[in-house]
Chain A
Amino acid sequence: MSGKSNSDTDYKKLTDEELIKKFQNGDIDAYNEIVFRFKDKIVNFLYRYTGSREESEDIAQDTFLKIYTSKHLYREIGKFSTWLYTIAINFARTSIRKKKKYNSFSISRFGEEDEKDYDLPSNVIAPDDDVNASTESYYIQRAIDALSDKLKQVIILRDIQELDYDEIATITDLPLGTVKSRINRGRECLKEMLEHIYKSNKK
């Protein structure tokens, strides 16, 4: 990542918007700071969205590359993080779509893809009574994977990435009411799924 750099500037004190502005003016250190600030958040979001570590890193790199190549497209009318998440979510959707094309689709989803909000996750690995956090997180991740895309993205953005409702509405390009209702529906689905998993494992 070559380019201009300003050693006197303390990039950590700068806001995201200031950083992207500096990067738009050719300051490559500002870009490095953006990557440093957002790489974990984006990878975490994408991991929860795709369920794959490799894929999430790959998509996150593509997202940062997009910012590098299309820095001039950012306008200071919204938060930089919103723009970044929008790019990331678009890449993630495209990736999932491609994946679906090549993988054989689930028989249970056939014909009722839009109606059903989630698939019941398989409980191949049954958690023990003394369920540790890692195992629980695994089940939660399975439950999130089972959610439909429209519920998944709002649940991740709200409960994992802890973004505002307004910000989520901007990223997903949905009305605020729709976002709220989808979040509630997603939580309900997750609750049901997790109860089902625990019940089946207890039996």
Chain B
Amino acid sequence: MDNEEKYIDIADKLRKLEKVEASHNFTHNLQAKIIEFESEKRKEHSKRNEDSKGGFLKDLFGNLQYPWLVPAAGFTILIFFVFYITYQNKSVLEADNNASLKNEQQTIQSEKQIKPTEPGNSSDNQAPPVITEKKELTRDIKPQNQQNTTGNDFNNERSIPKNNMTIDKSDSKPIYKNEAALPDKKVSKELSKSDDQNNISGVESFSENQGKVSEEKSRTMANVKPETKDTNKGKKNKNDNAGSILLKMNRIDKEALERIQEEISK
């Protein structure tokens, strides 16, 4: 308070100073400034709108109105990219699988085409099939020929279910457990009769490149021949009977068979 009293004169003088008032056009000028400011604001806004017409990405990131969208969009794109790669790989794998399946089917078809040439099925005197795919044929024929070495068609797996037979490894001959699974007698007779001719014709039908195949086939023929020759030596009926007896048996013993054959021959 002492200071207030000390400088009371000067304080009074300052208080009594005439008050300066705003001019009459003060509010008018202020209004003009406000209008100018708003027009500038509108211009900026319109300019921003024009800029934002640039595109979807510019709308998103151009003015950075939604900065949180940047990491979100990045993450989403990444996820899509990862999924795209994984599904692409899946489709490629599926395509590969399909291709391999097709190849298998083709090989099966080619097998089917080759089957008629086999000695067992050649009883119909059909013409040998036209071989289109040599490689597949060579691949597919080998196991067939190995089977053909048995000299009979009892091992025709397609006509007989696998459950009904067991394979004696020593002779690689199929042994039928059930009679129901056995092929008809007529067929077996016909097969035995036409073995020679059909085998020969089947082997001849192959190209020269498949020499090995033909050799193997000729070997099978050699294996088969003695039996067929025996039967041809006027003992057809007896042999047939013996064969039918054998076929009726659930289990065929090789030794027994040989014995029977010897008896018959005697």
Q: Which residues of A are interface residues toward B (Cβ below 8 A)?
A: 1, 32, 35-36, 39-40, 42-44, 47-48, 53, 56-57, 60-62, 64-65, 68-69, 133-134, 136-137, 140-141, 155, 159-160, 162, 180, 184, 187-188, 190-191, 194
| Main SS at interface, chain A | helix
CB-CB under 8 A from B7, the residues of chain A are: 184, 187-188, 191
| Main SS at interface, chain B | helix
Measured CA separation A57–B26 after assembly (Å) = 7
* A65, B17: Cβ atoms closer than 8 Å: no
* B30, A140: Cβ atoms closer than 8 Å: no
Most buried by A among B6, B23, B29, B30: B30
Known contacts A40-B22, A44-B20; A61 and B10 CB within 8 A of each other: no
Q: Tell me if B262 is interfacial: C-beta within 8 Å of chain A.
A: no
Measured CA separation A159–B11 after assembly (Å) = 6
CB-CB under 8 A from B27, the residues of chain A are: 32, 35-36, 39
What is the distance, in angstroms, from B10's C-beta to the closest C-beta of chain A? Answer: 5
What is the distance, in angstroms, from B34's C-beta to the closest C-beta of chain A? Answer: 6
* B20, A53: Cβ atoms closer than 8 Å: yes
CB nearest to B14 among chain A residues: A159
User: CB < 8 Å: which of A35, A44, A136, A190 contacts B21?
Assistant: A44
* B10, A190: Cβ atoms closer than 8 Å: yes
User: CB < 8 Å: which of A36, A43, A191 contacts B10?
Assistant: A191
What is the distance, in angstroms, from A34's C-beta to the closest C-beta of chain B? Answer: 11
* A65, B11: Cβ atoms closer than 8 Å: no
* B21, A43: Cβ atoms closer than 8 Å: yes
Q: Tell me if B33 is interfacial: C-beta within 8 Å of chain A.
A: yes
CB-CB under 8 A from B3, the residues of chain A are: 180, 184, 187
* A61, B30: Cβ atoms closer than 8 Å: yes
Q: Tell me if B169 is interfacial: C-beta within 8 Å of chain A.
A: no
Measured CA separation A61–B31 after assembly (Å) = 9
* A65, B14: Cβ atoms closer than 8 Å: no
Q: Identify 18 residue pairs between A and B in the complex whose beta-carbon atoms are under 8 Å apart, listed by A's number.
A: A35-B30, A43-B21, A44-B21, A48-B20, A57-B26, A61-B26, A61-B29, A61-B30, A61-B33, A65-B30, A69-B37, A133-B18, A136-B13, A160-B14, A160-B17, A184-B7, A187-B7, A190-B10
Interface size class of B (residues with CB under 8 A): 20 to 34
CB-CB under 8 A from A47, the residues of chain B are: 20
CB nearest to B41 among chain A residues: A69
Known contacts A136-B13, A188-B7; A65 and B22 CB within 8 A of each other: no
* A57, B23: Cβ atoms closer than 8 Å: yes
Measured CA separation A137–B18 after assembly (Å) = 7
* B34, A1: Cβ atoms closer than 8 Å: yes
CB-CB under 8 A from A53, the residues of chain B are: 20
CB-CB under 8 A from A137, the residues of chain B are: 17-18
CB-CB under 8 A from B16, the residues of chain A are: 133
User: CB < 8 Å: which of A39, A65, A191 contacts B34?
Assistant: A65
Additional pairs, 8, CB under 8 Å, beyond known A155-B14, A160-B14: A35-B27, A43-B20, A43-B21, A64-B30, A68-B34, A140-B13, A141-B17, A187-B7
* B29, A57: Cβ atoms closer than 8 Å: yes
The 10 A-B residue pairs with the shortest CB-CB distance in the complex, in nearest-first order: A159-B14, A187-B7, A39-B22, A43-B22, A47-B20, A44-B20, A40-B21, A61-B30, A184-B3, A191-B10
CB-CB under 8 A from A194, the residues of chain B are: 10, 13
Measured CA separation A160–B18 after assembly (Å) = 10
Measured CA separation A166–B11 after assembly (Å) = 18
Measured CA separation A32–B26 after assembly (Å) = 12
CB-CB under 8 A from A136, the residues of chain B are: 13
